[in-house]
Chain A
């Protein structure tokens, strides 16, 4: 069964460093998403991406964050200058269409630890 994959599974970085989290969405999906989950808290939406553009973003997704689809298979989340409060699990998701009723499939997540 097709699935969303994410790398690395765990990333440790120093505060102020740039990190890039990588995702390979399901191959025929056109819409891509990033969510994050701070330890012990709810899963929160960050951004959605379609046709090489951000289609929606939350207030969390500030100028420190960017997303890119550098090739036909990868979808990346970059944090330019990490802060301690960026420590969280980051989940990538993809869906076939952007319809309200379409299912989003989640990857296993990348645990980001900022020291």
Chain B
């Protein structure tokens, strides 16, 4: 069974601080996506990474896919209150249509 563990589960930081969220598995994924989800809404896609070692940047967000495609990280630089939300990673294995979702990291950025 493929599992994705995210850490930390909860994170409360001050505006302007940097943070990193981790997404780890013992399984290899063909692709991995990061989402942000607001309460009562569907996950909104932030990025898809597909190549081991790949780094993608989205403004102040930097996403990295591990060399072995088993893990990923999301780094936020100079966090802002608008970054507050639930961040989810989801991985997809070869030959399957389904994404396995991680446990989520709930981020709160205080002004």
Contact = CB atoms under 8 A, between A and B. Distances in A.
Main secondary structure of the interface of B (DSSP, over half): loop
A99 to B, nearest CB: 9
B48 A101 contact: yes
Interface bracket on A = 20 to 34
Interface string A25-45: 000000101010000001111
Interface residues of B, number: 27
Given A100-B94, A103-B45, A109-B42, A43 B101 contact: yes
A43 B98 contact: no
Interface of A: 6, 31, 33, 35, 42-45, 48, 55-56, 58, 89, 91, 98, 100-109, 111
A48 B33 CA distance: 18
B50 interface: yes
Contacts of B41: 108-109
A65 to B, nearest CB: 15
B90 interface: yes
Given A101-B50, A106-B42, A43 B30 contact: no
B97 A56 contact: yes
Closest CB pairs A-B (n = 5): A100-B30, A45-B98, A48-B97, A43-B101, A101-B50
